Amino acid sequence: MSTSPEISIYHNPACGTSRNTLAMIRQSGAEPQVIEYLNTPPSRAELVDLIGRMGITARDLLRRKGTPYDELGLDDSALSDDALIDAMMAHPILINRPIVVTPLGVKLCRPSEAVLDILPNPSIGDFTKEDGELVPGRNGE
């Protein structure tokens, strides 16, 4: 497996989608830089850059399940992107995952097979997720 410093994954090892995405990257023959973002959160500038490169809003990156989303009142549509980013900086668990960065783009990989759209080598063959779901291979793309 080749080391691919140009591929990074903002990863939560407790998340099945994140583990599946990491496994797909590795099955492609790449060894990404793994950033356990709960231990090493991105800086505000990095987070703003990732959001911009994904072409989404800060709200699109918010995770609700298993987070203080409701307690913080983050469903208030009047909250600005800056306010939502402030919340993610204070509580990194609010950042949805996994975020993958490759030379082909940056993407929130939910579902995990979305990573295939930005992998330099998406020909990983068949892949079975942890829950048993089969992701048919993308050979020869």
So which residues are the catalytic ones? 15
pLDDT at 141: 45
Tokens of 17: 């989608």
Which pLDDT score is estimated for 137?
Answer: 82
Give just the sign of the alpha carbon dihedral 42, 1, 30, 21. Answer: negative
Q: Which fold has domain 2-120?
A: Glutaredoxin (3.40.30)
pTM of structure: 0.92
> Do 68 and 92 form a contact (C-beta atoms < 8 A)?
no
Strand order in the sheet with 99-102: 30-36, 2-11, 99-102, 105-108
Successive 10-residue mean pLDDT values, the chain, 141 residues: 76 97 96 97 98 98 97 97 98 98 97 96 93 82 45
pLDDT of residue 83: 98
